[in-house]
Amino acid sequence: MLEKPNIKVLDKVVVRFSGDSGDGMQLAGNIFTNVSAGVGNQVSTFPDYPAEIRAPQGSLSGVSGFQVSVGTGVHTPGDQADVLVAMNPAALKRNVNVLKQGGVIIVDIDSFKEADLKKALFNTGEPFKELGITSQVVEVPVTSMTKAALADSGLDNKSVLKCRNIFALGLVCWLFDRPLESALHHLKTKFAKKPAIYEANAKVIQAGYDYGHNIHASVSTYRIESEEIRAGHYTDINGNTATAWGLIMASEKSGRPLFLGSYPITPATDILHELAKRKDLGVKACQMEDEIAGVCSAIGASFAGNLAVTSTSGPGLALKSEGIGLAVMAEIPLVIIDVQRGGPSTGLPTKTEQTDLLQALYGRNGESPLAVVAPASPTDCFTMAFEAARIAIEHMTPVILLSDAFIGNGSSAWRIPDTDEYPEIRPNYLPKNMMDGSWKPYKRNEDTKVRYWAIPGTEGCTHRLGGLEKDYDTGAISTDPVNHERMVYTRKDKIERIAGNIPELEVLCDKDADTLLIGWGGTYGHLYTAAEEMNKNGNKLAFAHFRYINPLPRNTREILTKYRKVIVAELNTGQFADYLQARFPEVRIERINKVQGQPFLVKEVIDGVTKIMEGK
């Protein structure tokens, strides 16, 4: 094997694949991520694709990207890329600003003809000069070499061109010394039912890898450091898949069958897709005709004794609000998954935000309290989906799980847990001594305020639930004002008492600092990385991240009042900051906000915290 010169040794690297929305950048990025996870690297990904179903080929609006960071200490997909793969001029123009100083750009020079440059709105025939690029540019004839590799394949020209992304993947695998055997395994799985397509891609990825050897003297290569990891079986998993699997684990641990009633909506649809595959585990997944039918079918399943779930994004959550109110009034377990996206209305369907928080907390008529939780990362979606189901079943309440497009579509390396790492879920079943006909449907455990669950069909426990207010003692319909007030406060108290059954808030980084940075949900990786970097540079900063939103952890006031400055960073105009400010008026909450449909950059968080710490 030829010795590679110009080797850069890094603890982590960032690669961004970019091209037309039909160029297969998501597939190439996903395979590279899986291969890297398989060799023991930590990974974090950011798929970034247009909302248009099919924008004009080669146009700026049609650029699709996939960014991945691999290595050690990886918590985000990275602010800037070490390597940018640009399959056409539009991809280069859209993404050149994310390249690090001294990085490498790999372009398909066959796609940089005059017509291609015009589509990308270049004014000259010298795109690299026009963009002021000083980085190392590797001009690779990807298209022509792909055609040459498949000259005898028998594939038509369109099918041959679809393999260009795999040639680029082969070159990137050489650049980072990734094993081709693993990449080939993933390709074989992807094209298991199309052996001719697999064979073609196998030839092309080898051609890309070999091309890297041929240019070894003229391009920098990278060695990525790895670290010891906990023994176990690992896989690359995105947040939506992890959410689905967490629900399946909760079904197993609770002994209740899993039902999903949903209507497809970006970026939550993959949860429906994944659960629809799991008939082998007893999962019932139904695609309903609209969002209202989705939540109502889940409510019916909950009435019947299932672990009932409905999944959606912000617009769908609005449509489900009346049904969710019924579940609050009936006090039945229900998990509502909201994979947040940019809004309002249809907004930015493929982009990420945290703008549904207040809708989740308050977006229903009447006093309608429920539990709200939020996963912190793609892999944490498994844990928090499990937690949402646990809280729903053990406390007989709807629970909203606030994921978002960034962590729902993004992925990380995940160790598949052993079943004993998660606790049994204990439904608040009706005690046997109440099955003599004396039980009423709103009879509850007075310590937790959780009503007992009598699964339909239990002898002697016929009962009726519904949306009209019920008498606290008899369960009959009641319009008595004093009883209504008692039931309102009982439902509120039941949610507040969940705080005794969730973890306390943990402070990370420098606990003794004067300033506390706070985040919630999918911003965890960026905020934690920012706090770590600030502390390394001598700026003392504590960090706390909320995964339980309602109720808040029981030690929240104790922690917030400990710090001189409290800063909340979130991808909205300040919804969680307002929520905390209202709950804890004695604490002055500072804010860092971003509403651009994109996740935070670590630099943005550091700059924002620094200005607040300096009083600017």
- CATH number, residue 399: 3.40.50.970
Q: In Å, how far from its chain's centre is CA 322?
A: 26
Integer CA distances (angstroms), 359 to 319, 354, 368, in order: 11, 11, 12
Q: Is residue 229 situated within a structural domain?
A: no
Where in the sequence is the domain holding 490, given as residue range(s)?
432-500
pLDDT at 220: 64
DSSP output for 245-298: HHHHHHHHHHT--EEEEE---TTTHHHHHHHHTGGGGT-EEEE-SSHHHHHHHH
What is the number of domains present in the chain? 4
Give per-residue pLDDT as tens, 138-163: 999 999 999 999 999 999 999 999 99
- CATH number, residue 153: 3.40.920.10
Give per-residue pLDDT as tens, 560-600: 999 999 999 999 999 999 999 999 999 999 999 999 999 99
Is the pLDDT reported for residue 421 higher than 90?
Answer: yes
pLDDT at 137: 94
Give per-residue pLDDT as tens, 481-527: 999 999 999 999 999 999 999 999 999 999 999 999 999 999 999 99
Question: Which of 224, 248, 272 corresponds to the end of one domain?
Answer: 224
pTM, two decimal places: 0.94
CA angle 237, 240, 246 (to 5 degrees): 80
Residue 466's CB is within 10 A of a number of other CB atoms, namely: 11
* 21 Cβ contact partners less than 8 Å away, ≥ 6 residues apart: 49, 50, 52, 54, 55, 62, 63, 64
Integer CA distances (angstroms), 407 to 350, 401, 489, in order: 12, 13, 35
248 and 197 together in one domain: no
Residue type, 479: T
Is residue 594 within 8 Å of residue 555, measured between CB atoms?
no
Considering only CA atoms, give the Rg of the chain: 26
Task: Give mean pLDDT, residues 43-58.
Answer: 87
529 and 484 together in one domain: no
207 and 80 together in one domain: yes
Task: Give mean pLDDT, residues 62-75.
Answer: 94
Question: Which of 400, 421, 442 corresponds to the end of one domain?
Answer: 421
Q: Is residue 1 situated within a structural domain?
A: no
Residue type, 410: G
186 and 151 together in one domain: yes
Question: Which of 455, 472, 500 corresponds to the end of one domain?
Answer: 500
187 and 304 together in one domain: no
pLDDT at 3: 42
Place of tokens 């985000």: 76
Looking from the CA of 265 toward its CB, the CA atoms found within 13 Å total 31
168 and 137 together in one domain: yes
The β-bridge relationship of strands 565-570 and 515-520 is parallel
Q: In Å, how far from its chain's centre is CA 597?
A: 14
pLDDT band at 219, cuts 50/70/90? low
414 and 548 together in one domain: no
- CATH number, residue 532: 3.40.50.920
Q: Give φ, ψ of 236 to 5 degrees.
A: -85, 130
149 and 284 together in one domain: no
pLDDT at 235: 85
Q: Is residue 230 situated within a structural domain?
A: no
Residue 442's CB is within 10 A of a number of other CB atoms, namely: 20
The pLDDT > 90 percentage for the chain reads 87
Q: Is residue 27 situated within a structural domain?
A: yes
pLDDT at 434: 87
Q: Is residue 249 situated within a structural domain?
A: yes
pLDDT at 6: 61
Q: What one-character DSSP code corresponds to residue 436?
A: T
115 and 176 together in one domain: yes
User: What gap in Å lies between CA 562 and CA 549, rounded to an integer?
Assistant: 20
Task: Give mean pLDDT, residues 333-344.
Answer: 98
pLDDT band at 256, cuts 50/70/90? very high
Is the pLDDT reported for residue 58 higher than 50?
Answer: yes
Structure tokens at 198: 């697999």
Element (DSSP H or E) covering residue 324: helix 321-330
454 and 553 together in one domain: no
pLDDT band at 216, cuts 50/70/90? low
85 and 12 together in one domain: yes
Give per-residue pLDDT as tens, 431-479: 988 888 888 999 999 999 999 999 988 888 889 899 999 999 999 999 9
Q: Is residue 427 situated within a structural domain?
A: no
Q: Is residue 568 situated within a structural domain?
A: yes
pLDDT at 10: 77
- What distance, in Å, lies between the first and last C-alpha atoms of the chain? 56
Q: Is residue 133 situated within a structural domain?
A: yes
Task: Give mean pLDDT, residues 373-402.
Answer: 98
Task: Give mean pLDDT, residues 16-35.
Answer: 94
218 and 273 together in one domain: no
